[in-house]
């Protein structure tokens, strides 16, 4: 993935989030405060506005810029978490003008570790990690088996979608949904769904 492709990926993520804004808001209405779609769409709109300023930067700096725009514009719990995700992803790609499969995996893993640390959460708590962690495992397995970046990310997107579906069966123990206890059962976690949409947009662009 060269920088041009990276910019296409970021634009595709922004488009997917904007297109699914209402779904994310509806999901958050069921177990949270109904702002996840609005928050994410606002954040990625700010990302799009910032992209021209990042045109000359390396892949690491571009993703860092994305993360900083998200931190300042998304708000809620997910703002600092997605901000950390993209900033950590960028840290792992410092100075790179291209991203190969191994770079992508290292960057993704570091991003997921950043979210875990920042949110003091782990898989199985009905959060975005229930999409991100299975995606990380699926991509690792695919890349270790010699699959291409495109194939690996497709496998990751698939795992993220299944992971986001599985959050229906989890009682939330982190974030706003945890106030509901057992009443959070039967609903998908909005952050897991947004993470799954992000992976889908990356896979479709590659
Ligand atoms: P808020 O809950 O402040 O309204 P959002 O609605 O934008 O923020 O985001 C909610 C999403 O954030 C949840 O669906 C969940 O996936 C994610 N989330 C909340 N707390 C955590 C955490 N500690 N670790 C990981 N993800 C979290
Ligand atoms: Mg919310």
- The number of beta carbons lying within 10 Å of the beta carbon of residue 30 is 16
pLDDT digits (tens, 9 = 90+) for 80-138: 999 999 999 999 999 999 999 999 999 999 999 999 999 999 999 999 999 999 999 99
Residue burial 128-147, b: 16+ Cβ < 10 Å; e: rest = bbbbbbbbbebbbebbeeeb
Q: Is the CB of 175 under 6 A from ligand 1?
A: yes
Q: Is the CB of 76 under 6 A from ligand 1?
A: yes
CA–centroid distance, 182 to ligand 1, in Å, is: 17
Residue nearest to atom 7 of ligand 1 (CA): 36
CA–centroid distance, 189 to ligand 1, in Å, is: 9
Provide CB contacts within 8 A for 103, sequence distance 6+.
92, 93, 96
Which of 200, 197, 202 lies closest to 41 in space, CA to CA? 197
Per-chain residues with Cβ under 5 A from ion ligand 2: 28, 32-33, 35-36
Considering the entire predicted model, what is its pTM?
0.97
Question: Distances from the Cα of 34 to the Cαs of 17, 26, 39, 66, 136, in angstroms?
Answer: 15, 6, 9, 24, 28
Average per-residue pLDDT for the chain: 97
Ligand 1 nearest atom to the CA of residue 31, by list position: 14
Q: Provide the pLDDT confidence category of residue 23 given band limits of 50, 70 and 90.
A: very high
Burial class (CB within 10 angstroms; exposed 0-12, middle 13-18, buried 19+) of 120: exposed
Ligand 1 nearest atom to the CA of residue 120, by list position: 23
């Amino acid at each position: 993935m060269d920088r041009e492709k990276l910019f296409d990926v970021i634009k595709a993520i922004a488009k997917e989030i904007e297109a699914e804004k209402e779904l994310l808001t509806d999901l958050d209405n069921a177990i949270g405060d109904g702002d996840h779609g609005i928050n994410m769409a606002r954040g990625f709109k700010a990302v799009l506005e910032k992209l021209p300023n990042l045109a000359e930067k390396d892949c690491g700096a571009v993703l860092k810029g994305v993360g900083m725009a998200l931190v300042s514009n998304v708000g809620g719990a997910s703002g600092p978490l997605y901000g950390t995700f993209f900033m950590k992803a960028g840290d792992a790609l410092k100075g790179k003008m291209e991203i190969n499969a191994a770079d992508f995996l290292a960057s993704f893993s570091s991003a997921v570790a950043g979210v875990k640390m920042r949110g003091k959460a782990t898989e199985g708590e009905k959060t975005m990690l229930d999409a991100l962690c299975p995606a990380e495992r699926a991509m690792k397995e695919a890349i270790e088996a010699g699959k291409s970046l495109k194939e690996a990310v497709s496998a990751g997107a698939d795992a993220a979608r299944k992971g986001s579906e599985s959050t229906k069966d989890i009682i939330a123990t982190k974030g706003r949904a945890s106030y509901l206890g057992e009443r959070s059962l039967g609903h998908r976690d909005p952050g897991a769904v947004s993470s799954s949409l992000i992976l889908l947009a990356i896979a479709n662009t590659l």
